[in-house]
C-alpha cells in the first residue's frame, strides 16, 4: 500500500512523503511485535504511534474526500 500511495499521490505532491515513511514504520513495528517475544512498546512510544496514526488517517481521509 505504501508503494502505491508513493507512486500515485506523493509523486504528484498530493500526499506528504511522511505518510509513506510512517506506513513503512508501522509495518516494521507490526512485524517486530509479531515475531519477537521480547518486544514491548513504552507508553510514550504508544502515544507517539497513536499520534502518527491519526496524522496518516487524516491525510488519507483528505485524499479520499478530494477524489469524491
Q: Which residues contact 43 (CB under 8 A, 6 or more apart)?
A: none
Identify which of 30, 68, 36 has the alpha carbon closest to the alpha carbon of residue 49: 30
pLDDT at 33: 80
* pLDDT of the residue at 36: 81
pLDDT of residue 68: 81
Predicted confidence at residue 34, as pLDDT, reads 80
Range of the domain at 43: 2-67
Residue 39 — φ and ψ, nearest 5°?
Answer: -90, 125
Give the pLDDT means over successive 10-residue stretches in the chain (68 positions): 91 94 91 81 90 96 92
Distance CA 44, CA 49 (A): 9
Q: How many domains does the chain have?
A: 1
Amino acid at each position: 500500500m505504501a508503494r502505491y500511495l508513493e507512486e500515485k499521490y506523493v509523486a504528484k505532491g498530493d500526499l506528504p512523503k511522511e505518510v509513506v515513511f510512517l506506513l513503512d514504520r508501522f509495518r516494521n513495528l507490526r512485524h517486530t511485535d509479531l515475531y519477537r517475544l521480547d518486544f514491548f512498546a513504552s507508553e510514550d512510544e504508544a502515544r507517539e504511534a497513536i499520534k502518527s496514526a491519526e496524522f496518516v488517517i487524516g491525510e488519507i481521509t483528505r485524499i479520499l474526500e478530494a477524489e469524491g
